[in-house]
């Protein structure tokens, strides 16, 4: 009988893509291994996971809003419903191990797996552990982390420092530059700023880039801009007003390997996945941490790089006045770009997905 693994979590690309990378690594090692995903209904994993070729079950779980909100009143009922559904999924699928990658969908599933005596593995992507993972860690068999110093959150003997799993196609992007230029319709003779606000977009980054787009174009640079769904129409209107072919905007970019291949400098949020991909692609970056992320973990992620001269940080509150200026300064400074490339490359962990898959298989064995 083939072995079975449940992988749960989601909510953002930062949780979903590492989960898919782990699943892919597991199936490369054992092609007959069965993988089932469990996510949150209405969240992006319900679209992205099937697109990657995996089955997914949705739970009605939601997060608790920090501000007073009527929706918080529904939380206990949705949690209870999710726990019952998670119990049924486990009973029907009969997993040998359950993996949680963060996000509130992983809570009910891993909790019920623990109650059923199924070994569990947590993958904590950030430098500051999330609430769900801190709660689940008490019963977890193994905890895979991406940053040193996580003993303040988890039991030392359970921790494995392995890095964050990222898409394998990002490992060698330098050879894809010509393909990328053709794909995005950009000019080989110009330097490129790649702007991304994460899978859901980022208002402060988008508004800053929109306001400074004329400066970037006038300076002779071209811009590849991932806006998120809510900002794409505004971005396209701004580009049309400038009457330029130096800017290409997309609501979402699936070919991230080509986007990194074309980028001379990257502007990005500081989510765990984005940071890990930037390390692997070795790209000079200006990071704008999302201040409302739980426990302000994006700022902590960014500072980890800044302290090692591996990235530049602009606070979200200062983005509108400082971001484009910081990007222009870095685009103009080749020596600084090389320093950042050298230092960020040292933080890359290209074998993270394989190493985490091996820890999952140990629990099955």
Annotated binding-site residue numbers for UDP-N-acetyl-alpha-D-glucosamine: 12-14, 126, 167, 199, 253, 272-277, 298
Contact 155, 137 (CB under 8 A): yes
Q: At a CB cut-off of 8 Å and minimum separation 6, what does 223 contact? A: 192, 193, 194, 195, 209, 213, 216, 217, 246, 247, 248
Contact 144, 356 (CB under 8 A): yes
Provide the token pair at 31: 């092609």
Q: At a CB cut-off of 8 Å and minimum separation 6, what does 2 contact? A: 32, 33, 34
Q: List the binding residues.
A: 12-14, 126, 167, 199, 253, 272-277, 298
d(CA 123, CA 320): 34
Q: Alpha helix locations (H) across 61-189?
A: 75-93, 106-115, 131-136, 177-184
Q: Could you say which DSSP state residue 190 is in?
A: S
d(CA 267, CA 216): 13
* Side-by-side strand order, sheet with 120-124: 55-59, 34-40, 4-8, 97-100, 120-124, 142-145, 159-161
Contact 347, 147 (CB under 8 A): no
Q: At a CB cut-off of 8 Å and minimum separation 6, what does 27 contact? A: 33, 35
Widest pairwise Cα distance in the chain: 63
For 329-346, give the DSSP string.
Answer: HHHH-HHHHHHHHHHHHT
């Amino acid at each position: 009988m083939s072995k079975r693994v449940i992988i749960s979590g989601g909510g953002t690309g930062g949780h979903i893509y590492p989960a898919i990378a782990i699943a892919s690594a597991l199936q490369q090692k054992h092609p007959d291994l069965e993988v089932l995903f469990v996510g949150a209904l209405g969240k992006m994993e319900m679209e992205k996971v099937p697109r990657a070729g995996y089955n997914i079950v949705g739970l009605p779980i939601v997060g608790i809003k920090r501000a007073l909100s009527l929706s918080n009143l529904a939380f206990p009922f949705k949690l209870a419903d999710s726990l019952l559904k998670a119990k049924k999924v486990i009973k029907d699928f009969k997993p040998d191990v359950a993996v949680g990658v963060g996000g509130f969908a992983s809570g009910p599933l891993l909790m019920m797996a623990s109650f059923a005596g199924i070994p569990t593995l947590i993958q904590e992507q950030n430098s500051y552990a999330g609430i769900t993972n801190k709660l689940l860690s008490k019963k977890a068999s193994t905890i895979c982390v991406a940053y040193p110093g996580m003993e303040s959150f988890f039991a030392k003997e359970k921790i494995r420092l392995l890095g964050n799993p990222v898409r394998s196609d990002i490992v060698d992007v330098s050879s894809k530059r010509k393909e990328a230029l053709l794909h995005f319709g950009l000019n080989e003779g110009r330097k490129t700023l790649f702007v991304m606000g994460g899978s859901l977009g980022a208002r402060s980054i988008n508004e800053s880039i929109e306001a400074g787009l004329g400066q970037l174009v006038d300076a002779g640079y071209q811009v590849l801009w991932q806006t998120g769904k809510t900002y794409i129409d505004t971005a396209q209107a701004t580009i049309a007003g400038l009457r330029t072919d130096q800017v290409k905007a997309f609501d979402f970019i699936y070919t991230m390997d080509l986007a990194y291949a074309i980028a001379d400098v990257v502007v990005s949020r500081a989510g765990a996945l984005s940071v890990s991909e930037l390390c692997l692609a070795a790209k000079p970056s200006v990071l704008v941490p999302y201040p409302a992320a739980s426990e302000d973990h994006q700022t902590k992620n960014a500072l980890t790089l800044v302290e090692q001269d591996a990235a530049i940080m602009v606070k979200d509150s200062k983005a509108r006045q400082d971001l484009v200026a910081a990007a222009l300064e870095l685009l103009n400074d080749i020596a600084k770009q090389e320093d950042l490339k050298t230092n960020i490359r040292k933080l890359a962990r290209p074998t993270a997905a394989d190493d985490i898959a091996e820890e999952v298989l140990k629990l099955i064995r």
